[in-house]
């Protein structure tokens, strides 16, 4: 499926396709992004002080800015949507709507003297979900933040207002107890605060909510709501800006904004507005929920320099509920169960229990709605529960297996409404219940509706650590984001309609910090500067467990900011850092290594502060292609920065002292190209027991040299007939952009840029002519102008140039329809100019741009001739080709003569055996059993070719006698066939386990079915009705098969084997080579593990690839299958047979390698040398999620590290077909429907 690259920087999607090689092959078939992220015709203008003060005296509304008339003078019909100048002094400007937007551009608006800048209006969408159902009682997230200690002292924020910019609020919710003071509707201008989405209600409850089950951070404070959403989860950035500016104008002390877009620049529009507001008051903003995207993915407005950006931490509690299993034998088992994200079952239950033997992914029995099923938990994802969810049971309780964790079971999303309870309980339930059933007893499940929660501390090692979804910084300017972190994972709060819900996101860690600010303001002092300084310098550092289980050190400050808020220290410390609360060391070009830190001792006695240093883990911020690493970025073990500072400093009461600190990058990272990002804290431990710190962060790379484009954007012609990409000037055919026919332009943005554009220039324009700002002209040497993309499915489009472009680690493409000002592109010969400004670059310096030119191509507007060409359209070169399979043809005509060393010459029709063995010089007959019985019949002309290949890479070579083969059948039906016509061929007896029963289809219409008779070897295709109405049907069918066991044992020589496949009038002799394993490459295979009924995968790394410092593998399941850790080990092959197979194998002691294995991931590292003739085997056990799934596939990432610090990488996909299967292409018909069928053969 093809989609489009976005027009702006909001919420870019991360592709799965990495741009590893910048060539045509790397972009063919690449996805794009589906919709343009701007609101057509909507712009935000910042006005100069002169332009802002000037009002249109001729307007019916004398408050109308004069800029409106100036825009009208340009020929536009314009409407003021929002006048920010009348709202706040922090942003002088307007939001406008231009009705005739087909010809408007930002550059047009920027030509108005009073307009200092202009931006398109962007949509913003919330990205959180809520799970409702009164899920919790006595929920307390305040232990880790120490807010509960303040509550015990009566510190509750009484009298302090928090202003929230959000979706509205359900003021009548009983948990608010009148703490919603009011609000303003930014859309309608009234006080209607209805919350159709629930987000604002949930956010507000985290601050001031309170009932018998939970308490907010500042229950004595009040919330004032600024509603910026209508009844949907989407809004626009101008309304968000209006909400922030209105809260600022209303003199709010604390503003909480849980809204944003993924544009990590401190001077992007929303960040700039937040920064200006933050210079006068506390503004707290969500850091974003794109943690899986990795480093350098900060958001806006959170990137504002004076904004407090908040990351999210995992909860330290799990909300469980009590239940009882009663055995008819008299025994009782009291259990605790957890439901999907903690949702409570709101009914009393006393039902009979069936104990299942198969796990929850493979259970096939049925039950009644008033029964419960208790069974082992499987490892599948949600869709694997379809069978269980429709089994009829009303209550499903699973006991934990494979150490998946006694935690919220979030995978059961494929649920039936009939299942009233999905729950997970401790693994100890299973043996007890199984024993009771084995004794002939029955079980009953009892649940009390009014039972109190059985919440318990989470045993997950990453509880209390950073949430995986929490966005990573730094900004593209290398500034901190997030600044601080707070609970945001699995948070409990209010939902409209007197309900409660559970949700996760930095949207909810943000109001937590706003609540802490209310405690500080109400009980310490109203000082936004000191609050920010105290907040970040008293925070607690968090550890990190990249695998979710094993802590490896302090989390990078690019992920956690200063760490977890500590409310007691924040409010109670007498030591205050009065200088910058965090230090950005920037990149290697902009590094300032020495900084001064000022401490204030507010205490009554002198304090001596010992100065020390805390290192966070150093991460590799980018991969070998300079794309930022995704979650979790590789950690550089032992790479720690250092500081030079005095050992201590003594400060008298009420006095300050300044300490000079010099930061030194880790020595081991200085010459690495992976952009090592190092961070930590300077610690000041006082003799008064107080510990404050200053976070710092630096990246060991030149941001300027981190070019945003890996290479030139590639322009191609996409042929919608054959689906291939061709050179942009293929066949000299013109494009018709006005008719939505243009080149496809492929690119990926691997780092940020303030400006990126795709422009058209004349065919003779050169990059030496580049001068910014570009001036349009005409002719073959002129710059013609930037482009407008084709509309997406919603009619949205993008106008280049794009500002503050976000990065994305994959190739996408775009097409264009016109110039950016809406003008149609005249007929002519053009080139595509791709230009992008380096970070920290000067737009006026051509050297600070990446500039790329495409080959020349032709554009035609309607029937207008292309200048210089006499015809009304460009010449078209006609090429003819015959579509064929990527597999080489193996067809032998029945009269083909084959040389034989023993029999002179024979024809294929006289071959007395079905399989032959061939060496380089001749083919030797291989004695086998001939088939007897029926011969192939029917209409055989449909078979254009039949070949046999290995399913391992669809190669004509195979190395494992037991591996699956594919019989590849090329079908070409040149005439119409009666329904029921059969086409058959006979396979040799050496091929067994042949796939059968497949359905061939075209556009969802069945065109035929397959059948195979193992006893006769005859494979039959029976054609359906569709071929009776269509001819010229072309396609391929692949059916899997294996060699029989006897024949596998006979494969004792390196040779080429030929299989005889007969139709009614032809013989095909496909060849398949059997040879030794190539021991200069990594080899992999999969096979059944009969001992446990599962499977084993082997990855074999030859010693000839050394000498290395280490070899490692990591895994990613391509489905929901898992890793069998108990069956996974490292082995060494020291002797090989003639086929390269390992004949002497020994296990390597587990003490000699590092292994980190769980159900969903495997990381195994071996750091010892091996002989060049030996083979290192990673022997991996695999656990099936679904026993019925035909294919078992796991992806492996192999990395070899060498002494010179270079690395060799290889991505492997190991797949095993558990059963025979058929795969068919989409069959294509080259003709149209006719009134009736034409006979094509019987």
Kindly state whether residues 687 and 626 are assigned to the same domain. Answer: yes
- Assigned token pair, 571: 């409010």
Kindly state whether residues 991 and 957 are assigned to the same domain. Answer: yes
Distance of alpha carbon 1103 from the chain centroid: 35
The 3-state DSSP class for residue 764 equals coil
Q: What angle do CA 1213, 1218, 1221 make, to 5 degrees?
A: 95
Q: What is the mean pLDDT of residues 413-419?
A: 65
The full DSSP string for 273-297 is HHHHHHTTSEEEEE--S-GGG-SS-
- The neighbouring-strand residues paired with 1084 are 1099
- Give the pLDDT score at 911: 36
| Domain contains 1230 | no
| Domain contains 504 | yes
Residue 950 clears pLDDT 80, i.e. is over it: yes
Kindly state whether residues 719 and 683 are assigned to the same domain. Answer: no
Surface-to-core class of residue 647, CB atoms within 10 Å of its CB (0-12 exposed, 13-18 middle, 19+ buried): exposed
DSSP state of 930: P
Report the CATH number that the domain containing residue 615 is assigned in CATH: 2.60.40.10
Kindly state whether residues 698 and 711 are assigned to the same domain. Answer: no
Backbone angles phi, psi at 1152, to 5 degrees: -100, 0
d(CA 829, CA 827): 7
- Give the pLDDT score at 754: 95
The full DSSP string for 339-378 is EGGG----S-EEEEEEEPSS-TTS------TTEEEEEE--
Q: Of all residues in the chain, what percent are helix, strand and coil, respectively (each to 5)?
A: 15, 35, 50
Listed residues 842, 859, 876: the one ending a domain: 859
Residue 611 clears pLDDT 70, i.e. is over it: yes
- Assigned token pair, 606: 């002198």
- List, for residues 69-91, the tens digit of each pLDDT value: 888 888 888 889 988 987 888 99
Contact 942, 983 (CB under 8 A): yes
Listed residues 703, 724, 741: the one ending a domain: 703
Q: What is the mean pLDDT of residues 174-196?
A: 95
Strands 1122-1136 and 1142-1147: antiparallel
Q: Which of 1152, 963, 1149, 986 is CA-nearest to residue 1060?
A: 986
- Give the pLDDT score at 577: 98
Q: What is the mean pLDDT of residues 854-873?
A: 85
Kindly state whether residues 899 and 1028 are assigned to the same domain. Answer: yes
Q: What is the mean pLDDT of residues 690-703?
A: 98
Q: CA 1174 → CA 960, 1131, 1136, 1151, distances in Å? A: 19, 11, 8, 20
Q: Which residue has the tokens 């930590």?
A: 680
What contacts 24+ positions apart, CB below 8 Å, involve 266-269?
266/303, 266/304, 266/305, 266/475, 266/477, 266/479, 268/9, 268/300, 268/301, 268/303, 268/803, 268/804, 269/44, 269/119, 269/237, 269/241, 269/300, 269/804
Kindly state whether residues 366 and 389 are assigned to the same domain. Answer: yes
Backbone angles phi, psi at 879, to 5 degrees: -115, 140
d(CA 1176, CA 1004): 47
Three-state SS string over 931-966 comes to CCCCCCCECCCCEEEEEEEECCCCECEECCCCCCEE
Sign of the Cα pseudo-torsion (362, 364, 370, 373, in order): negative
DSSP state of 567: H
Q: What is the mean pLDDT of residues 1125-1152?
A: 93
Kindly state whether residues 1054 and 919 are assigned to the same domain. Answer: yes
- Give the pLDDT score at 675: 96
Q: Which of 403-412, 588-597, 931-940, 1079-1088 has the lowest mean pLDDT?
A: 403-412
Sign of the Cα pseudo-torsion (289, 290, 294, 295, in order): negative
Q: What is the CB neighbour count within 10 angstroms for residue 233? A: 16
Residue 464 clears pLDDT 90, i.e. is over it: no
- Assigned token pair, 233: 């989860």
d(CA 829, CA 821): 20
Q: Which of 24-28, 236-240, 724-728, 1197-1201 has the lowest mean pLDDT?
A: 24-28
d(CA 835, CA 552): 42
- List, for residues 853-862, the tens digit of each pLDDT value: 999 999 999 9
| Domain contains 432 | yes
Contact 720, 856 (CB under 8 A): no
Q: Which of 70, 96, 60 is CA-nearest to residue 81?
A: 96
% the chain with pLDDT above 90: 56
* Number of domains, the chain: 7
- Assigned token pair, 13: 């999607």
- 89 Cβ neighbours under 8 A, 6+ residues apart: none
Report the CATH number that the domain containing residue 969 is assigned in CATH: 2.60.40.1280
Distance of alpha carbon 69 from the chain centroid: 46
Q: What is the mean pLDDT of residues 684-695?
A: 98
d(CA 430, CA 1201): 44
Kindly state whether residues 740 and 675 are assigned to the same domain. Answer: no
d(CA 564, CA 612): 20
Q: Which of 687-696, 725-734, 916-925 has the lowest mean pLDDT?
A: 916-925
Question: Could you tell me if residue 205 is left (phi over 0), alpha (psi between -120 and 50 degrees) or otherwise beta?
Answer: alpha
Residue 94 clears pLDDT 70, i.e. is over it: yes
Report the CATH number that the domain containing residue 511 is assigned in CATH: 3.40.50.200
| Domain contains 67 | yes
Kindly state whether residues 583 and 520 are assigned to the same domain. Answer: no
d(CA 964, CA 957): 12
Surface-to-core class of residue 863, CB atoms within 10 Å of its CB (0-12 exposed, 13-18 middle, 19+ buried): exposed
| Domain contains 190 | yes
**Strand ranges, E, within 942-1032:** 943-950, 957-958, 965-973, 982-986, 991-992, 999-1002, 1005-1013, 1018-1023
Distance of alpha carbon 885 from the chain centroid: 34
d(CA 1058, CA 987): 12
- Assigned token pair, 940: 């055989």
Listed residues 510, 544, 567: the one ending a domain: 567
Residue 365 clears pLDDT 50, i.e. is over it: yes
- Give the pLDDT score at 1080: 93
Residue 593 clears pLDDT 90, i.e. is over it: yes
- How high does pLDDT run on average in the chain? 85
- Assigned token pair, 231: 């009844």
- List, for residues 472-527, the tens digit of each pLDDT value: 999 999 999 999 999 998 888 899 998 888 888 999 999 999 999 999 999 999 99
Q: What is the mean pLDDT of residues 1201-1210?
A: 89
Q: Which residue has the tokens 């409570």?
A: 344
Q: What is the mean pLDDT of residues 591-617?
A: 97
| Domain contains 690 | yes
Q: CA 663 → CA 635, 667, 978, 1033, 1146, distances in Å? A: 20, 12, 82, 70, 49
Kindly state whether residues 465 and 612 are assigned to the same domain. Answer: no
- List, for residues 18-71, the tens digit of each pLDDT value: 334 445 554 444 444 333 477 888 899 999 876 666 555 455 565 667 888 888
The residue segments making up the domain with residue 360 are: 320-454
d(CA 890, CA 947): 6
- List, for residues 301-327, the tens digit of each pLDDT value: 999 999 999 999 988 777 788 999 999
- Give the pLDDT score at 812: 84
Backbone angles phi, psi at 150, to 5 degrees: -70, -40
Kindly state whether residues 262 and 332 are assigned to the same domain. Answer: no
| Domain contains 940 | yes
Taken as a whole, the chain contains a residue count of: 1242
Contact 681, 612 (CB under 8 A): no
Contact 762, 836 (CB under 8 A): no
Surface-to-core class of residue 73, CB atoms within 10 Å of its CB (0-12 exposed, 13-18 middle, 19+ buried): exposed
Kindly state whether residues 343 and 300 are assigned to the same domain. Answer: no
Dihedral through CA 885, CA 886, CA 889, CA 890, nearest 10? -110
More reliable by pLDDT, 105 or 429: 429
- The gap between the terminal CA atoms of the chain, to the nearest Å, is 39
- Assigned token pair, 905: 């010459």
- Assigned token pair, 331: 């025994």
d(CA 1183, CA 384): 14
d(CA 467, CA 450): 32
The full DSSP string for 482-499 is --EEEE-SSEEEEETTTE
| Domain contains 3 | no
More reliable by pLDDT, 893 or 1127: 1127
More reliable by pLDDT, 410 or 1100: 1100
- List, for residues 281-300, the tens digit of each pLDDT value: 999 999 999 999 999 999 99
Backbone angles phi, psi at 1048, to 5 degrees: -60, -40
- 538 Cβ neighbours under 8 A, 6+ residues apart: 566, 569, 570, 573, 692
Q: Which of 1077, 995, 988 is CA-nearest to residue 1041?
A: 995
- Assigned token pair, 945: 């070719």
């Amino acid at each position: 499926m093809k989609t489009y690259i976005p027009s702006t920087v909001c919420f870019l999607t991360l592709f799965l396709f990495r741009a590893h090689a910048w060539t045509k092959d790397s972009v063919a078939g690449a996805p794009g992004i589906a919709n343009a992220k701007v609101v057509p015709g909507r712009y935000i203008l910042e006005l100069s002080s002169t332009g802002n003060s000037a009002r249109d005296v001729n307007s019916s509304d004398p408050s109308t800015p004069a800029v409106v008339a100036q825009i009208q003078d340009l020929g536009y019909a314009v409407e003021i949507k929002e006048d920010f100048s009348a709202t706040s002094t922090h942003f002088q400007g307007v939001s406008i709507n231009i009705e005739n937007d087909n010809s408007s551009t930002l550059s047009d608006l920027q030509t108005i003297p009073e307009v200092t800048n202009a931006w398109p209006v962007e949509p913003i969408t919330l990205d959180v979900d809520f799970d409702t159902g009164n899920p919790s009682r006595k929920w307390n997230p305040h232990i880790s933040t120490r807010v509960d200690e303040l509550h015990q002292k009566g510190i509750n924020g009484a009298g302090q207002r928090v202003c929230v910019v959000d979706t509205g609020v359900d003021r009548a919710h009983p948990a608010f107890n009148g703490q919603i003071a009011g609000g303003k509707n930014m859309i309608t201008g009234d006080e209607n605060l209805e919350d159709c989405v629930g987000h604002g209600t949930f956010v507000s409850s985290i601050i001031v909510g309170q009932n018998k089950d939970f308490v907010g951070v500042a229950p004595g404070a009040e919330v004032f709501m600024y509603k910026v959403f209508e009844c949907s989860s989407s809004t626009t950035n101008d309304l968000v800006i209006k909400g922030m500016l209105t809260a600022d104008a209303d003199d709010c002390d604390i503003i909480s904004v849980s809204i944003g877009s993924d544009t990590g620049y401190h001077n992007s529009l929303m960040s700039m507005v937040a920064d200006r507001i933050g210079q006068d008051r506390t503004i707290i903003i969500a850091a974003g929920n794109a943690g899986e995207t990795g480093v350098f993915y900060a958001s806006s407005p959170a990137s504002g320099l004076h904004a407090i950006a908040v990351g999210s931490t995992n909860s330290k509690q799990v909300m469980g509920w009590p239940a009882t299993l009663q055995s008819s034998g008299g025994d009782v088992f009291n259990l605790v169960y957890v439901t999907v994200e903690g949702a409570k079952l709101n009914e009393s239950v006393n039902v009979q229990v069936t104990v299942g033997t198969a796990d929850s992914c493979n259970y096939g029995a049925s039950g009644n709605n008033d029964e419960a099923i208790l069974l082992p938990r499987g490892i599948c994802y949600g869709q694997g529960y379809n069978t269980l969810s429709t089994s009829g049971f009303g209550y499903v309780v699973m006991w934990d297996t494979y150490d998946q964790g006694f935690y919220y079971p979030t995978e059961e999303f494929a649920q039936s409404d009939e299942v009233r309870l999905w729950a997970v309980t401790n693994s100890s339930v299973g043996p007890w219940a199984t024993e009771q059933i084995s004794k002939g007893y029955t079980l009953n499940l009892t649940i009390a509706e009014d039972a109190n929660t059985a919440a318990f501390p989470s045993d997950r090692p990453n509880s209390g650590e950073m949430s995986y979804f929490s966005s990573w910084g730094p900004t593209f300017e290398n500034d901190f984001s997030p600044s601080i972190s707070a609970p945001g994972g699995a948070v409990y709060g209010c939902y409209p309609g007197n309900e409660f819900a559970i949700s996760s996101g930095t949207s909810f860690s943000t109001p937590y910090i706003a609540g802490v600010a209310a405690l500080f303001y109400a009980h310490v002092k109203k000082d936004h500067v000191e609050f920010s300084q105290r907040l970040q310098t008293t925070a607690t550092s968090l550890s990190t467990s990249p695998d979710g289980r094993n802590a490896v050190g302090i989390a990078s400050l690019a992920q956690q900011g200063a760490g977890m808020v500590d409310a007691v220290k924040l409010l109670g410390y007498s030591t205050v850092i009065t200088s910058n609360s965090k230090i950005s060391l920037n990149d290697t070009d902009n590094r300032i290594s020495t900084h001064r830190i000022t401490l204030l001792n507010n205490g009554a006695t002198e304090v001596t502060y010992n100065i020390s240093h805390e290192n966070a883990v150093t991460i590799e911020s980018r991969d070998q292609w300079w794309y930022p690493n995704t979650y979790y970025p590789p950690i550089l073990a032992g790479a720690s920065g250092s500081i030079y500072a005095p050992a201590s400093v003594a400060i008298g009461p009420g006095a300050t002292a300044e300490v000079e600190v010099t930061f030194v990058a880790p020595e081991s990272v200085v010459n690495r190209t992976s952009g090592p990002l190092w961070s930590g804290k300077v610690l000041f431990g006082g003799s008064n027991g107080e510990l404050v710190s200053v976070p710092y962060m630096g990246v060991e790379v030149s941001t300027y040299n981190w070019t945003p484009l890996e290479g030139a954007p590639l322009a191609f012609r996409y042929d919608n007939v054959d689906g291939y990409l061709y050179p942009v000037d293929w066949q000299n055919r013109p494009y018709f952009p006005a008719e939505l026919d243009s080149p496809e332009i492929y690119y990926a943005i691997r780092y940020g840029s303030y400006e990126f554009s795709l422009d058209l220039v004349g065919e003779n324009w050169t990059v030496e002519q580049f001068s910014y700002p570009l001036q349009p002209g005409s002719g073959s040497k002129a710059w013609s102008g930037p482009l407008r993309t084709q509309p997406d499915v919603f009619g949205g489009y993008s106008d280049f140039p794009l500002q503050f472009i976000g990065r994305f680690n994959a190739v996408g493409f775009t097409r264009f329809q016109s110039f950016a000002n809406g003008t149609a592109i005249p007929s002519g010969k053009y080139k595509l100019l791709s230009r992008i400004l380096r970070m920290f670059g000067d737009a006026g310096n051509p050297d600070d741009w990446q500039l790329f030119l495409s080959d020349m191509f032709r554009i035609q507007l309607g029937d207008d001739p292309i200048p210089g060409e006499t015809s009304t359209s460009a010449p078209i070169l006609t090429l003819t080709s015959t579509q064929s399979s990527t597999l080489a043809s193996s067809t032998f005509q029945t009269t083909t003569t084959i040389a034989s060393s023993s029999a002179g010459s024979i024809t294929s029709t006289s071959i007395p055996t079905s399989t032959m063995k061939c060496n380089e010089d001749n083919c030797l007959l291989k004695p086998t059993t001939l088939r007897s019985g029926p011969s192939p019949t029917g209409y055989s002309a449909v078979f254009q070719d039949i070949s046999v290949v290995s399913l391992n890479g669809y190669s004509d070579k195979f190395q494992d006698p037991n591996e699956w083969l594919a019989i590849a059948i090329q079908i070409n039906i040149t005439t119409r066939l009666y329904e029921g016509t059969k086409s058959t061929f006979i396979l040799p007896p050496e091929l067994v386990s042949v796939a059968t029963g497949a359905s061939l289809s075209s556009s969802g219409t069945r065109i035929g079915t397959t059948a195979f008779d193992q006893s006769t070897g005859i494979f039959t295709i029976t054609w359906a009705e569709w071929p009776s109405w269509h001819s010229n049907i072309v396609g391929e069918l692949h059916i899997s098969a294996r060699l029989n066991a006897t024949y596998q044992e006979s494969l004792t020589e390196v040779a080429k084997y030929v299989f005889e496949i007969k139709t009614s009038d032809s013989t095909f002799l496909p060849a398949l080579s059997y040879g030794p394993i190539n021991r200069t490459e990594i080899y992999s295979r999969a096979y059944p593990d009969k001992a446990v009924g599962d499977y084993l995968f082997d990855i074999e790394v030859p010693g000839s690839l050394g000498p290395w410092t280490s070899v490692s593998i990591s895994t990613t399941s391509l489905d929901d299958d898992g890793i069998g850790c108990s069956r996974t080990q490292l082995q060494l092959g020291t002797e090989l047979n003639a086929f390269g197979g390992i004949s002497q194998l020994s296990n390597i002691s587990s003490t000699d390698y590092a292994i980190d294995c769980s159900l969903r991931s495997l990381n195994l590292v071996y750091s010892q040398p091996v002989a060049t003739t030996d083979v290192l085997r990673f022997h991996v056990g695999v656990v099936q999620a679904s026993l019925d799934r035909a294919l078992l596939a796991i992806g492996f990432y192999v990395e070899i590290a060498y002494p010179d610090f270079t690395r060799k990488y290889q991505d492997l996909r190991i797949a095993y077909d558990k059963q025979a299967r058929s795969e068919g292409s989409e069959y294509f018909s080259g003709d149209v429907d006719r009134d009736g069928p034409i006979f094509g053969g019987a």
